[in-house]
Amino acid sequence: MSNTRVEAAPAPAVPQQRTGRWLAVPLLAFALVSLTAGLLADHSPRTKGYFRLFFSDPVHLKAGFATAAVALACFQLFSAAWIFKKLPWARPRWIGRAHRWSGRLAFAATLPVAYHCIFKLGFQTPDARVIAHSLLGCFVYGAFAAKVTVVRLHRFPRFALPVAGGTLFAVLIGVWYTSAVWLYGHSTSAAPAYAAAPVPANADAVAGFAVFQKAGCGSCHVLAAAHASGQVGPNLDSARPPYAKVVAQVTSGGGVMPSFAKTLSAKQIRDVAAFVATNAGKP
């Protein structure tokens, strides 16, 4: 008999967990991507290049796609809990693939929103809600980059992935709440009727043209007299709003329009309302 001794092959080395210093990598990805989105959005609203597909306007398109992204993100949260055996049911074979594809579709649903927010409407600051929405809109892609970094590099501390995923989910909910939820809540009530009262003597329509330009009204509205062709808000030439309605809308906001009470004086509001009321519908 042979006395040759067969030695057992050494067991493969188990990859070691990354140290806490590696957490700086997803944090850096979050910061760089968020900052890049903010810099790209640092411009005044643009008047061309919008699209609406089957929605009434680009703003409702944004709200619809953001709502779809949130619904898919909720499924992501549910399926992740199922994958990691946090639910009382046996894990089916298809849940991993469904989880991955729901994430891809959620990301795809954010792209029409990002296109309009970053490249068309830009970073806006008329009130606290819009500021929060603008910041969260930048953060959502930073949070996505951080999560992808954690997933692709592997071997982070166990808490890193749920924290990254939870942060992304929370930021996405914040974006949705400050846009779609607000929009749906402010566009369902019936608009009050306004009488076609004459423009008062203390309102200067000529000065109102300068206010219309300064306030950026043309980036959202169509008004031939101001050479404005915005596609976000109502077409003023078609709507022909009376003076009182314009004053109320500019002062208090409504629908997708923010209030300008803090950025325009009472006289400027009267002037721009006079300009719109006397020129809407004119060639």
Residue-range domain boundaries for the chain: 20-186, 205-279
Integer Cα distance of 272 and 276 in angstroms: 6
Percent of the chain's residues with pLDDT above 90: 53
Give 36-83 pLDDT, tens digit per residue: 999 999 988 777 888 889 888 888 899 999 999 999 999 999 999 999
Q: What tokens appear for 133 in the block?
A: 């929405």
Flag whether pLDDT at 215 surpasses 90.
Answer: no
The residues with which 257 forms a beta bridge, in sequence order, are 254
Integer Cα distance of 228 and 216 in angstroms: 10
Q: What is the dihedral of CA 174, 177, 182, 185, to 10 degrees?
A: -170
**Three-state secondary structure call for residue 86:** coil
Phi, psi angle pair for 235, to nearest 5°: -75, 110
pTM for the full model?
0.76
Instruction: Evaluate whether the domain defined by 205-279 bears CATH number 1.10.760.10.
Output: yes
Flag whether pLDDT at 97 surpasses 60.
Answer: yes
Mean pLDDT of 180-194: 70
The residues with which 228 forms a beta bridge, in sequence order, are 223
pLDDT band per the 50, 70, 90 thresholds, residue 137: very high
